[in-house]
A and B are shown apart, each in its own frame.
Chain A
Amino acid sequence: MQVASMHFKERAHVKLHDERLQFNLKKMQGKFVAKRRESLVELDDFEGTRDSAKEIRNRALENLDVWLELFERNAKARGATVLFAETPDDVNALVLEIAARHAVKKIIKSKSMVSEESALDHAIEAAGMKVVETDLGEYILQINNYEPPSHIIGPALHKSKEEVADLFSKTHGTPVKTDIAELCLEARGVLRSHYLTADMGISGGNFFVAETGSVVLVTNEGNATLTTTLPRVHVAISGIEKIVPTLEDTATLMRLLPRSSTGQSISNYVDILTGIKGAGEFHGAEHMYFIIVDSGRTAVLASELREALRCIRCGACMNHCPVYQNVGGHSYGWVYPGPIGSILTPMYVGLENAQDLPAASTMCNQCGVVCPVRIPLPDLQRKLREMAFEHGLRPWYEHAALSIWSWFSQRPALYGFGTAIAVRALKWMGGCDGLIHKLPIGAGWTDERDFPAPEGKTFRELYKKRTAT
């Protein structure tokens, strides 16, 4: 996907004034938070389960090469082919190669965020094949001229039911429907025929299980089951970090993933797909491929941001993020929005292209306290800020302001003198209502807020006077 993260501020500005989006965002935000909270009540030891999940993910990452090799061996033993893609372009090239090998004309896809990184659908279409997204949200976006997803779980969450109804009517040539169930039925009718006529199905992969060579898919619509079992060829695409050592480990992670994500104790469907259709077996693809993607992940693994790779893509961080809730997912300008996106995007597309993302956080740590695998998201945002500072990527005036403050703070006498003057000036600027309506440097504050004026003397002045008398 084309990167637009360098325009975060401008994009956020537009989204903040998009009334329809603001309405849709407000409607959604409370639901995720409340449902997650309710579903956690039934877990007897949520914090303990989080510890285990963190430990499982760390164990996978610490010996990633070993687990990947084990996965490859076990998947091959069951007749699957395991391929590794170093770059997004490699992902597309591998998919096209497989499609050519099997004379594929039509491809159906269930949700895969990794395939968004390489804009796979465009590559497939450019190669002259048809591709149909079968996840309802992804389908909505596809028929809306490939609008980018705004959320990793609900890619079309930014859209209202009315917008979807109009889009369906326009695309399918049907009367406008108002009922959600009717809209779902309409999509189902359209998609059904594609399931039966597609030559190849592409899925993502929530987990790759090393001990069995399986891919685990967590979905709610059943589309992944159809996508991966009806066509002749199944290709599962996911990142190298999605490895989990054992099925037992997967079970632990599954206690947290749907709950953290949609607030379900279990998703409607959990597919565990192992190998090709065997002799005498009725279901499954005849050919199975795994494309395991690096695309910047080994660089993260080797960096101070390694903990971000624990992510199991539940979306809880964005569902709870006050910045995301106000600006929506599209502001972030790439595949992964919200707090986890603010870490992954700069690492995958270059800090110089996305340095505003880790900066655009109040460090309120709401994301950190809900993350099921305990990724310290604000700490990682700070690490990226340190990298941006070291590489001189921040604007000079920001640097200057910070340096002046730090310089004075390390010289108490000058600090005392400087602040005494400053508070008097600001007090005077506040006038009789004690409010500064415009700060010459600090328009970011006063464009939409007043700045309450200081009392007029510093604590240190007053305290000195008090102790002297």
Chain B
Amino acid sequence: MRVGFFVTCLVDTMRPSVGFAAIELLEAGGAEVVVPPAQTCCGQPAYNSGDRADAIALAAKVIAEFEGCDFLVAPSGSCSGMIRTHYGDLFSADPPMLQRARALMEKTRELTDFLVNELKLARVPGRFDGTITYHDSCAGLREMGIKAQPRALLAMVPGLALRELPGCEVCCGFGGTFSIKFGEISSRMADNKCQDIAGTGADAVVLGDLGCMLNIEGRLRRRGDMKTRVLHVAEVLAGRKPKS
């Protein structure tokens, strides 16, 4: 099974270790992982900013790079959600491209979903001694149906105890360019999230999207919380320690 790994631009630039953790997990599940070398961005920033032409160009690039794979897997509900639920809209006026887009949409998966439902991973390499809480990212939850999958995988991690986060389905306030255009509102939403996280008393908040990670970590630190760790689910499952 050839799995095309879509790194995502935020993992590529901000947290490469998340990418390597994800690949480790995919390989542990028996997948043959390929990483198309020229990949960049899924086009979501352009799409959500109303720049349809650039979004179409980037989507066409992703389709060309990944259509030869059996699956496209991304360590992000947001980017996989962009491909799986919105690429069709981008090519609605271009039947040949629409057909190719549809084919890729069908084989696009979010990482934890793929690990649970395709690779049927029964054990994970990681170990985590402590309590975590989990934040459901919006696109993962509401576009990709990611809810039980990460929790099922985290339950396999020895030493780990999950304490559910009140309001775990409420947006953290990232929203891509929203976080800069409406920084004040975005920060307030992040602050609400941080309060909820603090209330759980967990050692770490775990999640599946880099945008939420940067947003939540950024607000936690500004609030003076230097202790609560913010980890991508792949890092915890693979047992990789992020650089501190």
| Residues of chain A at the chain B interface (Cβ within 8 Å) | 9, 12-13, 16, 322-323, 326-327, 359-366, 368-369, 379, 382, 384-390, 394, 398, 402-403, 405-406, 408-410, 412, 415, 419, 422-423, 433-435, 442-445, 447-452, 454-455, 457-460, 462-464
Do residues A459 and B12 form an inter-chain contact, with CB atoms below 8 A? yes
Additional pairs, 4, CB under 8 Å, beyond known A364-B175, A409-B9, A444-B183: A402-B49, A435-B221, A450-B218, A462-B16
Q: A434 vs B47: C-alpha distance in the bound complex, in angstroms?
A: 31
Which of A386, A442, A463 sits near B180, CB closer than 8 Å? A442
With an 8 A cutoff between CB atoms, is B95 at the interface? no
Query: Please, which residue of chain A has its CB at the minimum distance from the CB of B174?
Result: A362
Do residues B13 and A454 form an inter-chain contact, with CB atoms below 8 A? yes
**Which 7 residue pairs of A and B lie closest in terms of their CB atoms, listed nearest first?**
A362-B175, A444-B183, A389-B50, A385-B50, A364-B171, A448-B187, A406-B54
* Chain A nearest CB, measured from B193 CB (Å): 10
Which of B37, B45, B61, B244 sits near A460, CB closer than 8 Å? B37
Q: A457 vs B19: C-alpha distance in the bound complex, in angstroms?
A: 12
With an 8 A cutoff between CB atoms, is B1 at the interface? no
| Residues on the B chain within 8 Å of A434, using CB | 243-244
With an 8 A cutoff between CB atoms, is B149 at the interface? no
Q: List 17 A-B contacts (CB under 8 A).
A: A16-B184, A360-B182, A360-B185, A363-B138, A363-B178, A364-B142, A366-B170, A366-B171, A423-B13, A434-B243, A434-B244, A444-B179, A444-B181, A445-B183, A445-B218, A452-B221, A452-B230
Interface size class for chain B?
Answer: 35 or more
Q: A323 vs B13: C-alpha distance in the bound complex, in angstroms?
A: 29
Which of A16, A360, A447 sits near B178, CB closer than 8 Å? A360
Do residues A382 and B47 form an inter-chain contact, with CB atoms below 8 A? yes
Do residues B50 and A386 form an inter-chain contact, with CB atoms below 8 A? yes
Query: Please, which residue of chain B has its CB at the minimum distance from the CB of A448?
Result: B187
**If the complex has contacts A322-B173, A415-B40, are A445 and B20 also in contact, measured as CB distance less than 8 A?**
no
Q: A386 vs B46: C-alpha distance in the bound complex, in angstroms?
A: 10
Do residues A382 and B7 form an inter-chain contact, with CB atoms below 8 A? no
| Residues on the B chain within 8 Å of A363, using CB | 48, 138-139, 175-176, 178
Do residues A402 and B185 form an inter-chain contact, with CB atoms below 8 A? no
| Residues on the B chain within 8 Å of A451, using CB | 214, 218
With an 8 A cutoff between CB atoms, is B11 at the interface? yes
| Residues on the B chain within 8 Å of A422, using CB | 13
Q: Which of A9, A443, A455 has the most CB of B within 10 A?
A: A455
Do residues B175 and A447 form an inter-chain contact, with CB atoms below 8 A? no
Query: Please, which residue of chain B has its CB at the minimum distance from the CB of A414?
Result: B40
With an 8 A cutoff between CB atoms, is B120 at the interface? no
Query: Please, which residue of chain A has its CB at the minimum distance from the CB of B170?
Result: A322
**If the complex has contacts A455-B17, A460-B12, are A410 and B57 also in contact, measured as CB distance less than 8 A?**
yes
Q: A444 vs B218: C-alpha distance in the bound complex, in angstroms?
A: 12
* Chain A nearest CB, measured from B136 CB (Å): 11
| Residues on the A chain within 8 Å of B179, using CB | 444-445
| Residues of chain B at the chain A interface (Cβ within 8 Å) | 7, 9, 11-17, 19-20, 35, 37-41, 43, 45-52, 54, 57-58, 61, 89, 138-139, 142-143, 169-171, 173-192, 213-215, 217-219, 221-222, 226, 230, 243-244
Which of A387, A409, A447, A452 sits near B187, CB closer than 8 Å? A447
Do residues A458 and B58 form an inter-chain contact, with CB atoms below 8 A? no
Which of B19, B49, B61, B192 sits near A326, CB closer than 8 Å? B192
* Chain B nearest CB, measured from A144 CB (Å): 26
Do residues A449 and B178 form an inter-chain contact, with CB atoms below 8 A? no
**If the complex has contacts A362-B171, A362-B174, A398-B181, are A410 and B7 also in contact, measured as CB distance less than 8 A?**
no
| Residues on the B chain within 8 Å of A445, using CB | 179-180, 183, 186, 218
Which of B15, B51, B169, B188 sits near A455, CB closer than 8 Å? B15
Q: Which of B50, B139, B186 has the most CB of A within 10 A?
A: B50
Q: A444 vs B186: C-alpha distance in the bound complex, in angstroms?
A: 9
Do residues A443 and B183 form an inter-chain contact, with CB atoms below 8 A? yes
Q: A15 vs B169: C-alpha distance in the bound complex, in angstroms?
A: 24
Which of A322, A359, A390, A444 sits near B171, CB closer than 8 Å? A322
Q: A422 vs B9: C-alpha distance in the bound complex, in angstroms?
A: 13
* Chain B nearest CB, measured from A339 CB (Å): 12
| Residues on the A chain within 8 Å of B244, using CB | 434
Q: A296 vs B20: C-alpha distance in the bound complex, in angstroms?
A: 53
Q: A64 vs B121: C-alpha distance in the bound complex, in angstroms?
A: 54
Which of A13, A402, A449 sits near B190, CB closer than 8 Å? A449
Q: A462 vs B20: C-alpha distance in the bound complex, in angstroms?
A: 9
Do residues B19 and A463 form an inter-chain contact, with CB atoms below 8 A? yes
Query: Please, which residue of chain B has its CB at the minimum distance from the CB of A467?
Result: B35
| Residues on the A chain within 8 Å of B180, using CB | 442, 444-445
| Residues on the B chain within 8 Å of A368, using CB | 142
Q: A16 vs B185: C-alpha distance in the bound complex, in angstroms?
A: 8
| Residues on the A chain within 8 Å of B169, using CB | 366
**If the complex has contacts A410-B58, A449-B190, A449-B222, are A402 and B46 also in contact, measured as CB distance less than 8 A?**
yes
Do residues A361 and B178 form an inter-chain contact, with CB atoms below 8 A? yes
**If the complex has contacts A369-B142, A445-B183, are A455 and B243 also in contact, measured as CB distance less than 8 A?**
yes
| Residues on the A chain within 8 Å of B12, using CB | 419, 458-460
Which of B61, B173, B214 sits near A362, CB closer than 8 Å? B173
Q: A389 vs B55: C-alpha distance in the bound complex, in angstroms?
A: 13
Which of A366, A394, A455 sits near B16, CB closer than 8 Å? A455
